[in-house]
Structure 1
Amino acid sequence: MSNPSPRYIQGMKTRRKVLGEKYVDAAVTNTSPFTEDFQELITETAWGNVWSRNTIPLRERSMLTIALLAALGHYDEVAMHVRATRNTGASLEDIKEALLHVAIYAGVPAANHAFKIAAKAYAEIEAAEKEEDHA
């Protein structure tokens, strides 16, 4: 992007803080002329506007996002945001509580699948942390 807007710049800071440098670098690297406008849109609106607001902490924003994504069946995004809890401060217990709400308000099948996705993501986080400890 040749002349990024202030909202884009803020969005990229927040996106990197939440998702991590490695994830965002990969997303930027994989941007094509076809996806460039979409990447700009999500960086400015989702990350530069909504996620950058200071009305609620990242922990709660993370919990809300995971619950909404699970309720809507966007499980790839659930996994990504569960991995991001390392950066948002949302704990395993926080996510469990959010997914219990999903079960009641959006349905047991949605929560059941989201619990499986979250458990797998947490296992990946633990494995990565063990590798970091041995490195």
Structure 2
Amino acid sequence: MPENDTSTGERTRRAVLGDAHVDRTEVARTDFDRDFGAFITEYAWGGVWSRPGLDRHTRRLLTLAILCAQGNEEEFVMHVKAALADGVPPEELKEVLLHTAVYAGLPRANRAFALAREVLDAAGEG
């Protein structure tokens, strides 16, 4: 497993979410949530997302499916935007959501389709 370090996590986080998103998030940090942000960067981005067992594209699709299944709308939208910016085609996003509908439920997938469609429309890909 890669070392859990902030620099690896920061590089991975920026590669997955984009500099603009990370910069906005960091500017908004306060003393209250700064340690939590460092924790996420070190363990989620530096530990899990940086592991060699799955490529980043697969991790991205898994993340979208899990966020859809859990109903985590803000995180889902953020990751849809990042996926599109990284070249994930809308057709592939659609397949992930269809597959998730079978295993996580139609209401969650229905909502995820609506959210993804809003992101696609805003990006001119809808």
TM-score normalised over the length of structure 1: 0.84
Distance 1:46 1:13, change over 3 A: same
* Aligned counterpart, 1:114: 112
Structural mapping, 1:1-40, within 5 Å = 7-40=5-38
The answer to whether the aligner puts 1:46 opposite 2:44 as a matched pair is yes
What is the CA distance between 1:66 and its match in structure 2?
0.5
Q: Which amino acid aligns with 2:110?
A: N
Aligned length: 123
What is the alpha-carbon root mean square deviation over aligned residues? Answer: 1.7
* Aligned counterpart, 1:131: none
* Aligned counterpart, 1:99: 97
Which stretches of structure 1, 4 residues or more, deviate above 6 A after TM superposition? none
- Whole-Å separation in 2 of the counterparts to 1:92 and 1:44: 30
Question: Identity over aligned residues, as a percent?
Answer: 41
Provide the secondary structure at the position in 1 that maps to 2:62: helix
Distance 1:97 1:71, change over 3 A: same
The answer (yes or no) to whether the contact 1:63–1:90 under 8 Å persists in 2 is no
- Whole-Å separation in 1 of the counterparts to 2:72 and 2:19: 23
In structure 2, stretches of 5+ residues that fail to align are none
* Aligned counterpart, 1:78: 76
Provide the secondary structure at the position in 2 that maps to 1:126: coil
